[in-house]
A = this chain, B = another copy of it.
Amino acid sequence: MGDVPLSHPRYNSLMGRKLLTDAASDGLLADSALIAHGRGEAYDYLLGEKTCNSARQAISQAAIMMQNAESCVISVNGNTVALAADELIRCAAILQCPIEVNIYYRTDERMDALNSRLEKVKGEVSHCEAPSNWAGDWQKAVESVVILGAKPSGKIPNLEGPRANCCTDGILGADVIFVPLEDGDRCEALIAMGKKVIVVDLNPLSRTARMATITIVDELRRMAPLLLLDLINIDDLSPVKWNNEKNLDNSLAVMLSKLEN
Interface majority SS (helix, strand, loop, mixed), chain A: helix
Task: Given A255-B259, A259-B252, A260-B256, verify A17-B32 contact (CB < 8 Å).
Answer: yes
Scan residues 214-261 of chain A and give those whose CB is less than 8 A from a CB of chain B.
252, 255-256, 259-260
Residue A12 at the chain B interface, CB threshold 8 Å: no
A1: chain B residues at CB < 8 Å are 31-32
Residue A21 at the chain B interface, CB threshold 8 Å: yes
Residue A100 at the chain B interface, CB threshold 8 Å: no
Asked whether, in the complex, the Cβ of B35 is within 8 Å of the Cβ of A17, the reply is yes
What number of copies of this chain does the assembly contain? 2
A39 contacts which of B24, B32, B42, B205 (Cβ < 8 Å)? B42
Asked whether, in the complex, the Cβ of B35 is within 8 Å of the Cβ of A31, the reply is no
Complexed CA–CA distance, A40 and B36 (Å)? 11
Residue A34 at the chain B interface, CB threshold 8 Å: yes
Query: How far is the CB of A44 from the nearest CB of chain B, in Å?
Result: 10
A34 contacts which of B38, B255, B259 (Cβ < 8 Å)? B38
Task: Given A36-B38, A38-B36, A38-B42, verify A24-B17 contact (CB < 8 Å).
Answer: no
Interface size (A, Cβ < 8 Å)?
26
Task: Given A255-B259, A256-B259, A259-B256, verify A35-B38 contact (CB < 8 Å).
Answer: yes
Residue A197 at the chain B interface, CB threshold 8 Å: no
A31: chain B residues at CB < 8 Å are 1, 21, 24-25
With both beta carbons as reference points, the residue of chain B lying nearest to A25 in the complex is identified as B31
Residue A37 at the chain B interface, CB threshold 8 Å: yes
Query: How far is the CB of A253 from the nearest CB of chain B, in Å?
Result: 9
**23 residue pairs from A and B, CB less than 8 Å apart:** A1-B31, A17-B35, A21-B31, A21-B32, A21-B35, A24-B31, A25-B31, A32-B34, A34-B34, A35-B37, A35-B38, A37-B38, A38-B38, A38-B42, A39-B39, A39-B42, A40-B42, A41-B42, A42-B203, A45-B205, A205-B259, A252-B259, A256-B259
User: Which A residues are closer than 8 A to B by beta carbons?
Assistant: 1, 17, 20-21, 24-25, 31-32, 34-43, 45, 203, 205, 252, 255-256, 259-260
Could you list 10 further interchain pairs (A-B, Cβ under 8 angstroms) beyond the known A17-B35, A38-B39? A1-B32, A24-B31, A25-B31, A32-B34, A36-B38, A38-B38, A38-B40, A205-B259, A255-B259, A259-B259
